[in-house]
Structure 1
Amino acid sequence: MPTELSVGLTEPTHQQGIGVVAPFDFALDRELWRWAPDDVSLYLTRLPFFTTPVTVEMAVAIGDRRALRRATRDVLTPEPGVVVYACTSGSFVDGAAGEQVLRRTMEGAGAPAACTTSGALIDAITVLGVGRLAIATPYIEPVTRRLVNFLREHAVQTVACEGLGLLGNIWRVSYAEVVEVVRAVDTDEADALFISCTNLPTYDLIEPLEQALGKPVLTANQVTMWAALRAIGREAVGGGRLLHPADQLESGVA
């Protein structure tokens, strides 16, 4: 016999889910959720803590396969449709081959599908037809250089790059600082611009920057969630030409 409270209520449908493996210092859970439709859940877990600053060595350590395998298994209980490794530097630091190893590791741990932030970036660049990219990062120069090398392996030319030189606390960077580094790196030679690092807040900046620069602006969390949702047949919620290709055609951007 239904209770008075339950009369007229619709039983909740089974939610689709995305497993997210993030670095220990990731602080932008809310930003990832903003890209997700209301009926898609995110199951987040963190990689083990350590004290190394944000250097090449840290990026390599964050991509440790044993830790990634364990973290992937940690998010499988609620049966996500995909598991995503949400770290840009950790997925580009060992090049194209290293990124493929990360995906195979997650799949080997039981993920029904797997993607990484840097792999998602390449997919987004391919969809947009971008061959020349300007990149803005929060990193020190050796880490940014690894990103340039990763892009080169995928036949993407970096026409300009600029880093903030940070060794930690990246999530504390303000929108104003992000805009400043983006404006510093933008050039007419670039088909699009990429803002690296999932720990850098960018959700509200994408559309204003695209309007100001007249070209697609990709960000780490944007491409991460776009790719993860795409893997389960869904679309991300938010702005940007990646999510709205019709706007790209109307603006005349190839």
Structure 2
Amino acid sequence: MSQQTKVGFLYPGFAAEDDYPRLGEMVEPSVDVKLIHTEFNQDAHTVEALTEMGSIPRILEGTKHLKGTGIQSVLWTSTSASFTLGVDGVKEQIAALEEALNVPASTTAMAFVRAAKTIGVKRVAIAATYPEDIALLFKKFLENYGIEVLQYSSQGIITAAEVGTLEKEEVLNLAKENDLPEADALFIPDTALHSAEWIDDIEAVIKKPVLTANQVSFWEALRLTGQFKPQKGLGQLFRQEAPLEGGQTGDHQS
């Protein structure tokens, strides 16, 4: 009998972290999820708070709890506390994770880039729960990798805790109201937002691929182990073969 795949996630605070063990049970074969809550000074979608939350010392604090657990990959699971630091900051986060744990690593922000390339989307709409300045930073981050953002929304929700309370109908409405007909896909970039069980429902409503933060984070972690198998129930992203390149990316376009 083959050993169960084990993946690690560093997740700041408490909001929608239950999506990760849920995703571990939804895939076939199931995946053993090791999730560590990291600390931070303030739960706020501001540049200052997110920069502190995603700082290398905070990430390294979290990695201490994953050492010796047998994980085969690790993700820094905050979109905004990654892209807010810019392309170089994201690469530093990935390098710090890989050096500390000696396994392939990535971040949610980078997972969006890889997932978009995997399903072949180049023009997207963003349904963000963030304040406008943070949503704009995500737009700029994606544009560094040749992804054209046709439209982005900002719901102006400051705390992750509040985002985590949104129910299915609210998430479906967020998708419907912020999609754009010309977009190849819709991105929903907050790991504080529940989405695991609703991916197919969202795609059915907007009639195109949707990439959500928790979905792409789990996909990226599984992909990095080399154990990914296409499957149903988690959107178009999970229905096709995944590329096998490692944690770092050479796709940056100046």
Question: Which category of TM-score, normalised to the shorter sequence, fits these structures?
Answer: 0.7 to 0.9
Secondary structure of residue in 2 paired with 1:78: coil
Letter of the 1:125 counterpart: A
**Cα distance in 1 between the residues matched to 2:149 and 2:59:** 29
Counterpart of 2:200 in structure 1 is 207
**Cα distance in 2 between the residues matched to 1:174 and 1:165:** 17
How far the C-alpha of 1:16 sits from its partner, in A, is 2.6
Distance 1:52 1:208, change over 3 A: closer
**Cα distance in 2 between the residues matched to 1:143 and 1:76:** 32
CA deviation vs aligned residue, 1:45-72 (integer Å, no higher than 9, x gap): 1221423522122221111101111211
Any conservation in 1 of the 2:11–2:17 contact (CA below 8 Å)?
no
Counterpart of 2:237 in structure 1 is 242
How far the C-alpha of 1:232 sits from its partner, in A, is 1.1
Secondary structure of residue in 2 paired with 1:90: helix
Gaps of 5+ in 2: 242-254
Secondary structure of residue in 2 paired with 1:206: helix
**Cα distance in 2 between the residues matched to 1:214 and 1:13:** 38
**Cα distance in 2 between the residues matched to 1:94 and 1:215:** 30
Counterpart of 2:8 in structure 1 is 19
Letter of the 2:7 counterpart: I
Counterpart of 1:145 in structure 2 is 136
Counterpart of 1:219 in structure 2 is 212
**Cα distance in 2 between the residues matched to 1:221 and 1:127:** 17
Give the one of 109, 120, 131 matched to 1:118.
Answer: 109
Any conservation in 2 of the 1:193–1:217 contact (CA below 8 Å)?
yes
Letter of the 1:211 counterpart: A
Counterpart of 1:160 in structure 2 is 151
**Cα distance in 2 between the residues matched to 1:49 and 1:118:** 19
How far the C-alpha of 1:94 sits from its partner, in A, is 1.7
Does residue 176 of the first structure (1) align with residue 165 of the second (2)?
no
Give the one of 57, 71, 93 matched to 2:84.
Answer: 93
**Cα distance in 1 between the residues matched to 2:42 and 2:107:** 23
Any conservation in 2 of the 1:72–1:111 contact (CA below 8 Å)?
no
Secondary structure of residue in 1 paired with 2:180: coil
**Cα distance in 2 between the residues matched to 1:216 and 1:58:** 31
Runs of 4+ in structure 1 off by over 4 angstroms are none
Gaps of 5+ in 1: 1-11, 247-254
CA deviation vs aligned residue, 1:161-183 (integer Å, no higher than 9, x gap): 11211111210122222222211
- State which structure, 1 or 2, has the greater radius of gyration over its C-alpha atoms: 1
Does residue 230 of the first structure (1) align with residue 223 of the second (2)?
yes
Any conservation in 1 of the 2:7–2:32 contact (CA below 8 Å)?
yes
**Cα distance in 2 between the residues matched to 1:43 and 1:111:** 16
How far the C-alpha of 1:216 sits from its partner, in A, is 0.5
Does residue 57 of the first structure (1) align with residue 54 of the second (2)?
no
Any conservation in 2 of the 1:83–1:111 contact (CA below 8 Å)?
no
Greater mean alpha carbon deviation, residues 41-50 or residues 130-139:
41-50
**Cα distance in 2 between the residues matched to 1:83 and 1:211:** 31
Secondary structure of residue in 1 paired with 2:101: coil
Distance 1:52 1:214, change over 3 A: closer
CA deviation vs aligned residue, 1:192-230 (integer Å, no higher than 9, x gap): 001111110112322122122221111000000001011
Please, what is the CA RMSD of the aligned residues?
Answer: 1.8
**Cα distance in 1 between the residues matched to 2:202 and 2:5:** 31
Letter of the 1:154 counterpart: Y
- What percent identity do the matched residue pairs reach? 30
How far the C-alpha of 1:39 sits from its partner, in A, is 4.4
Report the count of equivalent residues.
234
**Cα distance in 1 between the residues matched to 2:123 and 2:94:** 26
